[in-house]
């Protein structure tokens, strides 16, 4: 894949919302006895439908329309943990497609409400022990495809348009808005892995000095390993299946974080900066702080923040000590996040 692989012409439909061009907001995190690193938060909640998945949804639909697979009279079908479903439902409403979305019991109710508000049909599968409920969602998608010849699966898990749009657009925006000297590192969370793979492909070729920090959940199989039960599971962070896009060369550092620690990070960031971040966004910021503590050379770090925290009432504080069982390193990073502040320069 190259950064030119996904570049379809923008639709001329005046009703189609404009996607991309999201803000890059700098946050200073004071480290004891060392210069404060600057974290540049790419706030993807500013996209139509509230998340980075607006980019993915647009790319998936465009790719299928370009081949003629998706055309009037067809029905879009997808498995989703929330954000992609909201974006697909909204774009399908604009483009005139029926849309069926398969979710799981842990999908935030507010996300489901947004899907149905756009006219989508939502199917909820049962929970599967061991963190593999995504398999049940995919089984339900395949059953719909067998039953309905008009159904078309956008397949966020394998469609190359998923990573392609992040190589062609998201990464380009990051570099265009970067501070002088560029980024020392970019931190990206995984679910399907499309965002990580696309950004990594771009940076490896165009900005090879920028290190890539991959951020996954403890108990996720997205970047290898075995899926496990996650009692505090955050929607859209990690996955019960291995990513079909990410390869080992896509990251320099891998950070695995507990869901409870990530939720605490979201609460600290909101208290100190007023920024509302979803789980994956809190994870990348926490991972960036951890690496900045370990490596003094990291001065400018991009954090791709997929969405905001409004849909997730479980992102609550655990008090000054953090959640139960928190490690000393994570506890120290949470304290630092509690001292973070918006940088005086709000633009690069």
The per-residue pLDDT string of the chain (348 residues; one tens digit each, 9 = 90 and over) reads 343 344 443 454 557 899 999 999 999 999 887 889 999 999 999 999 999 999 999 999 999 999 999 999 999 999 999 999 999 999 999 999 999 999 999 899 999 999 999 999 999 999 888 778 889 999 999 999 999 999 999 999 999 999 999 999 999 999 999 999 899 999 999 999 999 999 999 999 999 999 999 999 999 999 998 899 998 999 899 999 999 999 999 999 999 999 999 999 999 999 999 999 999 999 999 999 999 999 999 999 999 999 999 888 766 666 666 788 999 999 999 999 999 999 865 444
3-state SS class at 202: helix
State the pLDDT at residue 16: 86
Of residues 130, 126, 101, 104, the one with CA closest to residue 114: 101
Q: What is the DSSP string of 31-82?
A: BTTBPPPEEEEEEGGGSGGGBTHHHHHHHHHHHHHHHTSS-TT-EEEEE-SS
State the pLDDT at residue 138: 96
Dist CA 117 CA 207 (whole Å): 41
Contact 279, 287 (CB under 8 A): no
Of residues 26, 34, 11, the one with CA closest to residue 96: 11
CA angle 57, 62, 66 (to 5 degrees): 155
State the pLDDT at residue 346: 47
State the pLDDT at residue 319: 63
Of residues 271, 254, 250, the one with CA closest to residue 315: 271
pLDDT tens-digit readout, 261-309: 999 999 999 999 999 999 999 999 999 999 999 999 999 999 999 999 9
* Beta bridge partner(s), residue 303: 41, 187
* Radius of gyration, CA atoms only, the chain: 19
Of residues 52, 44, 39, the one with CA closest to residue 22: 44
Contact 191, 237 (CB under 8 A): yes
Dist CA 107 CA 235 (whole Å): 6
207: exposed, middle or buried (Cβ count in 10 Å: 0-12, 13-18, 19+): middle
């Amino acid at each position: 894949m190259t950064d030119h692989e996904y570049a379809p012409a923008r639709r001329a439909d005046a009703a189609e919302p404009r996607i991309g061009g999201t803000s890059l907001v700098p946050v200073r995190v004071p480290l004891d006895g060392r210069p404060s690193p600057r974290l540049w938060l790419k706030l993807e909640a500013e996209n139509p439908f509230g998340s980075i998945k607006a980019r993915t949804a647009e790319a998936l639909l465009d790719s299928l329309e370009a081949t003629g697979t998706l055309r009037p009279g067809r029905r879009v079908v997808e498995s989703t943990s929330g954000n992609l479903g909201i974006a697909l439902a909204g774009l399908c409403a604009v483009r005139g497609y029926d849309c069926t979305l398969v979710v799981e019991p842990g999908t935030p109710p507010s996300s489901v409400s947004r899907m149905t508000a756009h006219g989508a049909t939502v199917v909820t599968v049962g929970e599967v022990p061991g963190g593999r409920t995504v398999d049940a969602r995919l089984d339900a998608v395949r059953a719909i495809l067998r039953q309905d010849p008009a159904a078309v699966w956008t397949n966020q898990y394998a469609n190359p348009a998923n990573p392609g749009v992040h190589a062609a657009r998201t990464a380009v925006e990051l570099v265009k808005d970067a501070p002088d000297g560029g980024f020392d590192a970019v931190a990206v969370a995984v679910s399907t892995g499309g965002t990580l793979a696309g950004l990594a492909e771009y940076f490896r070729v165009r900005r090879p000095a920028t290190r890539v920090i991959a951020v996954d959940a403890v108990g996720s199989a997205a970047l290898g390993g075995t899926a496990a039960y996650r009692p505090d599971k955050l929607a859209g962070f990690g996955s019960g299946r291995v990513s079909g896009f990410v390869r080992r060369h896509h990251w320099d550092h891998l950070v695995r974080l507990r869901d409870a620690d990530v939720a605490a990070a979201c609460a600290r960031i909101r208290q100190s900066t007023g920024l509302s971040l979803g789980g994956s966004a809190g994870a990348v910021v926490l991972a960036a702080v951890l690496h900045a503590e370990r490596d003094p050379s990291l001065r400018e770090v991009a954090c791709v923040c997929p969405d905001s925290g409004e849909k997730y009432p479980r992102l609550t504080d655990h008090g000054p000590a953090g959640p139960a069982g928190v490690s000393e390193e994570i506890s120290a990073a949470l304290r630092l996040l509690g001292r973070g502040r918006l940088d005086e320069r709000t633009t690069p």
